[in-house]
Structure 1
Amino acid sequence: MFGYPPAGESPGGFPWPGAIRLGGRWRRLFAGILDLLVIGFISSPFTYRTVSTITGAENGLSVQVPYAETLLVAVIGFLYYWLLTAFWQGQTLGKRIFRLRVSDISGQKAGVGQVALRELVTWLMYSTCCLGWIDVAFILFHSRKQAVHDLAARTLVIDA
């Protein structure tokens, strides 16, 4: 799919020496959940007003969401994923615990700009209605277990 050979094969169809071992889908899911919990913990001092405003809507009327706090949490999340992945051997805390890392499509270290593009596409998709679910679905059905953000940045999630 998208012109890439299956995992562990060269463009000619023969196995690469030291073929890349793709990270498992379940481990990737649990690493992502752990990372979201870490971001929630880090950003919780900034979200109290947001949560109390949303849960305080008793009459079913429209709710005013404080956008400044929501934007701040998005920036914290982006920086968490980008900085750790770019400068901590391709790993966030969740990926490190579940022995995964982000690499370029050849299995080498992904560049800082490449990781920034990956995270930007991720945040754009997840902030746009249901596109986050499409991003996750790509991981399930793509032969190299790549999400849309991986395809855009030409990255893989592999065993560490």
Structure 2
Amino acid sequence: MGAPPPPPGEPPPDRPYRDPYIDPPPGQSPPEGEPWSPPPRGGPQYGEAPPGYRGGPGPVPAPLGGRWRRLFAGIVDSIIISLISTPVTWQTWSHVLDEERGAWARINLSQTFFLAVVAFLYYWLLQAYWHGQTIGKKIFGLRVISETGERLAVGQAAIRQAVMAVLAWLCCLWIIDLGWILIDPRKQAIHDKAARTLVVDS
């Protein structure tokens, strides 16, 4: 007996990749007994951008992650990073002289460098070795991939986070970095464009 036929929309075992001219898009198989008509060659295929799209080169490899979910995922990750760094930063104080009053003032100095290192390692290691996901992205069904649709590389994850960290330290450029998601057709922040990455549904 031969091998059972693959599920509708899935390629056969001897061809482990989808061909948009042979296999229908997942979830869009025709009714049983009816043939599937592939799209005309030369036109936009499943996952590709429509004509006139100028958001970036190549096809969109998966549905892009929603902006609100990215925001909430970032909030969750920020809380986790704060909890990790709190044992070191919560009681860091320094005494400085207030010249106007002529008295010493006790000022809380956050360990910003330590916090930045924790944040960099958190995002870099998790996204590089945990299928492009942080805990926040995992909760909200998101992951980071290469623009080509391949898994996020270790170096690519490092570049993405390094650019994000540098822009966050340069005054208010982090606002421009994250705000770019609102106007970019691929919902890419500046650090995504630098690393050639996309945030997509997982």
- TM-score tier by shorter-chain length is 0.7 to 0.9
Residue 151 to residue 62, structure 1, CA distance change in 2 (3 Å): farther
Which of the numbers 35, 40, 49 marks the counterpart of 2:91?
A: 49
Superposition deviation, residue 11 in structure 1: 9.8
Superposition deviation, residue 73 in structure 1: 1.2
Corresponding position of 1:117: 159
Give distance in 1, aligned partners of 2:112 and 2:88: 8
Corresponding position of 2:32: none
Which of the numbers 24, 48, 53 marks the counterpart of 1:9?
A: 48
Q: Displaced runs of 4+ in structure 1, greater than 3 A? A: 10-16, 61-67
**2:134 is the counterpart of 1:92:** yes
Conserved 8 A contact 2:61-2:148: no
Residue 12 to residue 63, structure 1, CA distance change in 2 (3 Å): farther
Return the TM-score normalized by structure 2. Answer: 0.65
When the two structures are aligned, how many residues end up with a matched partner? 148
Where structure 2 has 5 or more consecutive residues not aligned to the other structure, the ranges are 1-45
Which of the numbers 64, 67, 70 marks the counterpart of 1:25?
A: 67
Residue 46 to residue 132, structure 1, CA distance change in 2 (3 Å): same
Higher strand share: 2
- SS at structure 2 position matched to 1:102: strand
Return the TM-score normalized by structure 1. Answer: 0.80
Q: Deviations over 1:93-132 (max 9, x none)?
A: 0000000000000221010000000000000011111100
Which structure has the larger Rg over C-alpha atoms?
Answer: 2
- SS at structure 2 position matched to 1:22: coil
Residue 19 to residue 75, structure 1, CA distance change in 2 (3 Å): closer
Residue 115 to residue 11, structure 1, CA distance change in 2 (3 Å): farther
**2:163 is the counterpart of 1:101:** no
Superposition deviation, residue 49 in structure 1: 3.0
Higher helix share: 1
Which of the numbers 26, 40, 43 marks the counterpart of 2:82?
A: 40
